[in-house]
């Protein structure tokens, strides 16, 4: 899944991703990109693999620094699965006024749900 802020789809984002599966942990990837990546492998679009993600966007109203997101997520693959810890950055000092979630491949699985919590 990809996250963009304020409709910005330019190459103004970065992400870092570390994953673990069973007894092993490994770096999945990092880079500069056009969105913050949550599931680079596309599993968010599969109804066979239940997913969960918690995304914490720090200082989203601050207009004097770039934005950072911390992400904890995981999914189950019929008894095996992956948990990951991500961080992402948006290189823009604007306050975040809109958030767009998009699957990185295909479409969201049926019955997907999303909730937004925040401080006004």
Quick: pLDDT tens for 81-99.
778 888 899 999 999 999 9
Quick: pLDDT tens for 42-78.
455 555 666 778 889 988 999 999 999 998 888 776 6
DSSP 34-75: SSEES-TTSGGG-TTS-EEEEEEEETTT-SSS-EEEEEEEEE
51 forms bridges with which residues in the sheet? 75
What DSSP character marks residue 32? Answer: E
Pick from 92, 113, 115, 63: which is nearest to 4 by CA? 92
67 forms bridges with which residues in the sheet? 90
- The reported pTM is 0.82
Question: Do the Cβ atoms of 55 and 71 come closer than 8 Å?
Answer: yes
């Amino acid at each position: 899944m990809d996250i963009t802020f304020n409709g910005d789809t330019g190459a103004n984002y970065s992400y870092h991703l570390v994953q673990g599966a069973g007894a092993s942990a490994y770096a999945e990837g990092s880079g500069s990109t056009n969105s913050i990546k949550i599931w680079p492998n596309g599993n968010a679009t599969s109804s066979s693999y239940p997913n969960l993600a918690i995304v914490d966007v720090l200082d989203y109203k601050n207009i004097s620094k770039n934005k950072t997101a911390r992400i904890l997520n995981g999914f189950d693959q019929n008894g095996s699965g992956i948990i990951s810890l991500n961080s992402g950055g948006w290189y823009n000092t604007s306050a975040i006024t809109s958030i767009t979630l998009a699957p990185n491949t295909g479409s969201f699985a049926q019955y997907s749900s999303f909730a937004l919590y925040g401080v006004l």
